[in-house]
Amino acid sequence: MENPAPGNSSAAAPRGARRPAELGDLDMRIARDGTWHYRGSPINRIRLVKLFASVLRRETDGSYWLVTPAERGRVMVEDAPFIAVEVEMQGTGREQRLIFRTNLDEIVTAGPDHPLRVETAADGTPAPYILVRPGLEARLARPVFYELAELGHEERVGDEEQFGVWSSGMFFRLGEIEAD
């Protein structure tokens, strides 16, 4: 019996099932702006992009793969495979829900299963992300992050004041509070 492939690209295969054929690099790239490219040309058919996105997986080594039962091939991702292009707020206070829509129309609500995180780039600019599916994140478009900043407030967490937002009972830190 064969062992399943490492990472999160495939579930444990049933007895007698074969591993997908390894195709290597597919010459497919997801640009920082969320555009999918094949052999240097943008893929303009959104239904095709959504189909590819439905079989996109990320390995524990950080590589991205399109995985079907028959084949798997590596895809280059410049930043994150998705872009969060819209946010909607429902409710108020600690129980409010922040609901995001991606450029491929996936809907996720920030919370324990879909955490928000903000990294700081070398130049000091924030780089915000939300987990869409295991191993796959969406970078928040700049206008979406600005909307979150408008909703943000100071909150005491432990021994320090932090600036962030609540969603689904969790506080997500958005950035540092500037000293006066």
Q: What is the mean pLDDT of residues 13-28?
A: 75
- Rounded to whole angstroms, the Cα distance separating 128 from 33 reads 14
Residue indicated by tokens 């439905």: 54
Which CATH number among 3.40.50.300, 3.10.540.10, 3.40.50.2300, 1.50.40.10 corresponds to the domain 21-77?
3.10.540.10
- Give me the residue spans of the domains in the chain: 21-77, 82-175
Residue % of the chain over a pLDDT of 70: 88
* Most confidently modeled range among 3-12, 62-71, 156-165, 171-180: 62-71
User: Does residue 21 have a pLDDT over 80?
Assistant: no
Per-residue pLDDT at 23 = 82
CATH of the domain spanning 82-175 = 2.30.270.10
CA angle 127, 136, 67 (to 5 degrees): 145
Q: What is the mean pLDDT of residues 59-79?
A: 94
- Rounded to whole angstroms, the Cα distance separating 112 from 160 reads 22
